Amino acid sequence: MTDHKERFVQWLDQRVTGAGLGTDDTTSTVDPSGVFWLGRLAPEKEAMAETRRERRMDPCSVGIRFKPATPGPWSFQVRVRARGWNRITAGSKDLDTPEEWAKSAAAEATIDVTANAGMRPTDFGADLLTAALRRVGIGTATAVVQVSDESWRGTAELVVTVVNTTTESGQPKGERYLFEVELAVEGLPSAPFILESLPDSFRYEREMPALGINCGVEMRGTTFVTTDTVVVSTKRPTFRFGYTAEDKLDLSFIGLTDDPLPRLRQLVEGYAQWGQAAWSPEALARLQGDGPAWTPEMIAEANRGRAAYEAELDRLRCGVAALESSPQLLRSYRLMNKAMGRTASRRGITSWRPFQVGFLLGVLPSLVEGRRDWNIVEIVWFATGGGKTETYLGLLVLAVFHDRLRGKHSGITAWSRFPLRLLSLQQTQRFADALGAAELVRREHRVPGDPIALGYYVGKSSTPNDIPVEPTKDNPIDVEDDTMPARFNVLLRCPFCTARNVSTRFNRRHWRLEHFCSALDCPSTGEALPLFVVDSEIYRFLPSVVIGTLDKAALISMQAAMRGFIHGPAGRCRRPGHGFTYAKRGSRPSGCLVPGCKDPSETIKAHDRAMFAPSFRLQDELHLLRDSLGAVDSHYESILDDLQVKNTDTDPPKIIASSATLSGYQRQTFTLYGRRGRVFPALGPSVHESYWSAATPGTLRRYVAVWPRGVTLEWVSDRTITVLQQSVRRLLSEPEVVCAQAGIKPVHVPELLDLYGTNVIYGNTVKDVEAARRSMGTQVDVNPLNTVSLTGQTPFDEVRTAIAELDRPPADFDERVHVVAASSMFSHGVDIDRLNIMTVLGVPLTTAEFIQTTARVGRTHPGLVYVVHKIGRERDASVYSHFQAFVEHGDRLVEPIPVTRSSRRVLDLTSAAAIEARRLFFHEPRSERLKLTTADLLRAHHRTVVTTVDDETKALREMLGIRDDEHLLDEDLRRAVEIYFAKLNDLGSGAKWPHDILHRRPMTSLRDVETQIPISDD
């Protein structure tokens, strides 16, 4: 049960909102206009002297916009409540005496209003409000209710506001303001507004009863009331089995390991029965209800929804048929379930969620003969925290076992890429856990082949590109430094035994950076764990699954050893522990990547090398591949596919993706991969319920939109953190009082302290994050206050330490991390159940980022999210005005992904990489000396094989996917090739290396759109 957690979250929110309003304060030693950020109104005369943006930041009025349900005139009542503050003594800096302020009682007045159609702004109730203010001791402030008809497109829209009309300017600032202001309107029948920014849909409501002006609005019975924050609670989903009896359907890991087919048939049959009922004409008629008739667009959408369900059902049936027809695939499926069950059991999970099983079933036909739908991009789309990562991990583990059983005993099965610069350690750990369990299962069942291993392919500041014999300026890693290996420990625990005894060491004999577990009962028995974190070691051992950042694809134009990612290595070094070999270079005459090794290698035949081609490329967070990053990546995707197809005579890898949005996914997948995209699961007829999940009454997250008034964002952030930390710490100092106030039992205190004792502050930029952290250091009156930063600039070892401490906090609350200051690095892949409170500093720039960011809290327990709007920004103000719809319809409001591949600028950036990739992966393996590292060797090769400009341009056009009608791109590409061959054949050009003859240097990163730096092929 989570009732006590929900009540505690509500109590915390009441404390923070009360602090913003000042509801619990009756006296103050400072001017209250500099303290309270909610419910206050500035004097109109002063506010109107400011710009529109500044007026939003400290408004003089709040109100409600209505759409009357009947023609005018309209008669209704308006009730206004407000308080004021009076300065009792001025204080003295010389005498070091503070000011003294006292808050008044609440002034309240009810005003009868009659408004006519077309009414211009008209004042009501000035005398009544002034009298009410004077009765409670507010001496100079005045207010008025203003009503006007701001007709729009011939439809009346009544605007009712309360305005602070105080004109006395000689009084202290705090006495000129009104505080805890509330306006209520009763007796005005109204029609809802329609959120026109959303397309009409049979699944969604677009209606809003009224609109707040400089505030929120809610209905209490038949009365509309302004609110100082906008609170939206989302419901926690449950994962169920639709029409299939829950007690008869077994999706446990054990059950699907022992006898999967009957269970899978039952799941699919349940889906069929559910669909027959849910998509029937009678069901759709019930969904329409007594509302307006559906438009033709809504009917067409419903028909497409039913068709998507039917196609999905067909794929699931084909998945079962694939298992029935292929003993090899069936065995792989059972082994996968055993492995995934082993790793899931560590978290107390014994069963798959239905949608996870469904997704896997839908992909299985691609793995059997005929490879049905191989060229379709499969996108898993489910609520963040629903289990997407485990879903595609299950697929990768299954694919690894299938590769082993079909004869691929070495090489990469899948390359999984993440678009952020820094790969989350938790993401890495989840991959390591799944593959570690798979390796133990492989050993137990004597599945042939190399150990199932993971490659961490990141490089740069996180892990080494290679380990040099001696440190250099470009690579300062020193093998004599005993502390060096520890800097590159990427595991939080052992993937075999879960012990937190993982250390790193450098093995000189095998020239390898090893992770090892020192637990005495670990199945590794002290040997190196199956994990590779150095780029050169990944090339040498080609682990089963490689995870890394998207930017590493840029190496396709610079690193011949990336052939292991395309069509396999040249051979295997005869010296044990050295691994695969590649193209020979001056520093590696035998092709072995171990420094100084000259041992011969065993050649791998071309036919056998084709088996090394990866089966899958997995793209996490597909929605982040946008703008220039997406455009550049689209060309690199084409390069990777072309090289694999041309060198192995096989299909390109199947693409699996996960995304936070469905907006424009078809166009995006075709732009990026030249393939059609398909989303699983298909939407049900109701947004709240499908065969795969349904909403529960329990709270997932409580979102609170905050419109700060008259104070800085940092002030609101500091005060929010202060109140939250002080309130949670009262669980330690006065647990009985807090429990009584919150309506919870004292037995829950330790749990609540653990779940709500750490706050996250999220900034849209690193600058915002650092400003908030600096401000906390001096403005948050809580001691101790332990903070950590998690941004792209945080050193790797600090990230690792912080994640470990957050995941397993010290027993003493004072020693724990209390605040996490984070940027976009935190918004993807950080999954810690203890993080349940977040303050967002300004609405993120994209809706997808908002969804991903706020999903980092409340993953298992009720979450509390404060969205502090930068209200001076137009977008923040707009989001606040429809915040409930922004949260509830977030998936539909995600902006279409802006990405194109038909850009001359992008082609200019990527064509050099394509030319170099052709040299390394196509021409060099076919050259006489198997070596094209100098301009002279390259010139001789092209003369021998008689390569022409036309030939190379045609090959590059195919590689980059340039269409016949893209004439300007074709001309630009041809010009680049002409420059290339002109320089190559010009003996007086002085060109020594292949990159000297390019029109520009290849990109060193997919984000490298400006600066170019020298590179070396050796």
pLDDT tens digits, 25-38 = 999 999 999 999 99
Q: Is the pLDDT of residue 1011 over 50?
A: no
**Cα–Cα distance measured from residue 476 to residue 523, given in angstroms and rounded to the nearest whole number:** 35
State the pairing for strand pair 694-706/677-680: unpaired
pLDDT at residue number 242: 47
Place of tokens 């070495």: 410
What is the domain partition of the chain in residue ranges?
22-227, 698-893, 904-997
Tens digits of residue pLDDT in 843-870? 998 888 899 899 999 988 999 999 999 9
pLDDT at residue number 422: 57
Q: Is the pLDDT of residue 248 over 70?
A: no
pLDDT at residue number 1016: 37
Tens digits of residue pLDDT in 774-789? 899 889 989 999 999 9
What pLDDT band is residue 245 in, cutting at 50, 70 and 90? very low
pLDDT at residue number 1009: 67
* Pair 580, 943: CB distance under 8 Å: no
Tens digits of residue pLDDT in 250-297? 899 999 999 999 999 999 999 999 999 999 988 888 888 767 788 888
Name the most confidently modeled range: 596-600, 763-767, 926-930.
596-600
- Looking at the chain, the whole-number percentage of residues with pLDDT higher than 70 is 97
For residue 618, report the phi and psi dihedrals to the nearest 5 degrees. -110, 130
Tens digits of residue pLDDT in 641-681? 999 999 988 899 999 998 766 678 899 999 999 999 999 99
DSSP 947: -
pLDDT at residue number 461: 64
Q: Is the pLDDT of residue 241 over 60?
A: no
Sequence-separated (6 or more) residues with CB below 8 Å from residue 508: 479
**Cα–Cα distance measured from residue 789 to residue 773, given in angstroms and rounded to the nearest whole number:** 8
Element (H, E) at 64: strand 61-68
Sequence-separated (6 or more) residues with CB below 8 Å from residue 668: 622, 625, 630, 677, 897, 899
From first CA to last CA, the distance across the chain in angstroms is 62
Element (H, E) at 867: strand 863-868
Sequence-separated (6 or more) residues with CB below 8 Å from residue 11: 727, 738, 741, 742, 743
pLDDT at residue number 80: 98
**Cα–Cα distance measured from residue 331 to residue 319, given in angstroms and rounded to the nearest whole number:** 14
pLDDT at residue number 861: 95
Tens digits of residue pLDDT in 176-210? 999 999 999 999 999 999 887 777 777 878 889 99
Mean of pLDDT over the chain: 91
pLDDT at residue number 205: 80
Q: Is the pLDDT of residue 949 over 60?
A: yes
Q: Is the pLDDT of residue 973 over 90?
A: yes
What pLDDT band is residue 315 in, cutting at 50, 70 and 90? very high
- 558: which 2 tokens? 């610079």
Report CA-CA distances (Å) from 915 to 75, 552, 907, 945, 1010: 76, 18, 12, 17, 19
* Pair 117, 73: CB distance under 8 Å: yes
Tens digits of residue pLDDT in 529-585? 999 999 999 999 999 999 998 999 999 999 999 999 998 999 999 999 999 999 999
* Pair 204, 198: CB distance under 8 Å: yes
What pLDDT band is residue 827 in, cutting at 50, 70 and 90? confident
Return the half-sphere exposure (C-beta side, CA atoms, 13 A cut-off) of residue 931: 13
Q: Is the pLDDT of residue 439 over 50?
A: yes
Tens digits of residue pLDDT in 154-173? 789 999 999 999 997 788 99
pLDDT at residue number 910: 95
Tens digits of residue pLDDT in 93-113? 777 888 999 999 999 999 999
Mean pLDDT of 437-466: 93
**Cα–Cα distance measured from residue 600 to residue 311, given in angstroms and rounded to the nearest whole number:** 54
**Cα–Cα distance measured from residue 340 to residue 375, given in angstroms and rounded to the nearest whole number:** 27
From 152-156, 458-462, 961-965, the region with the lowest mean pLDDT: 458-462
Mean pLDDT of 736-757: 96
Return the half-sphere exposure (C-beta side, CA atoms, 13 A cut-off) of residue 855: 20
**Cα–Cα distance measured from residue 325 to residue 313, given in angstroms and rounded to the nearest whole number:** 18
| Residue 568, Ramachandran bin (φ over 0: left; ψ between -120 and 50: alpha; else beta) | left
Nearest to 43 by CA among 129, 164, 140, 126: 164
Q: Is the pLDDT of residue 49 over 90?
A: no
Mean pLDDT of 679-703: 89
- ∠ CA 727-730-733, nearest 5°, is 165
Tens digits of residue pLDDT in 118-163? 999 999 999 999 999 999 999 889 999 999 999 877 789 999 999 9
For the question of whether the overall pTM of this predicted structure is more than 0.95, the answer is no
pLDDT at residue number 421: 60
pLDDT at residue number 243: 42
pLDDT at residue number 105: 97
- Fold annotation for 698-893: Rossmann fold (3.40.50)
- Looking at the chain, the whole-number percentage of residues with pLDDT higher than 90 is 72
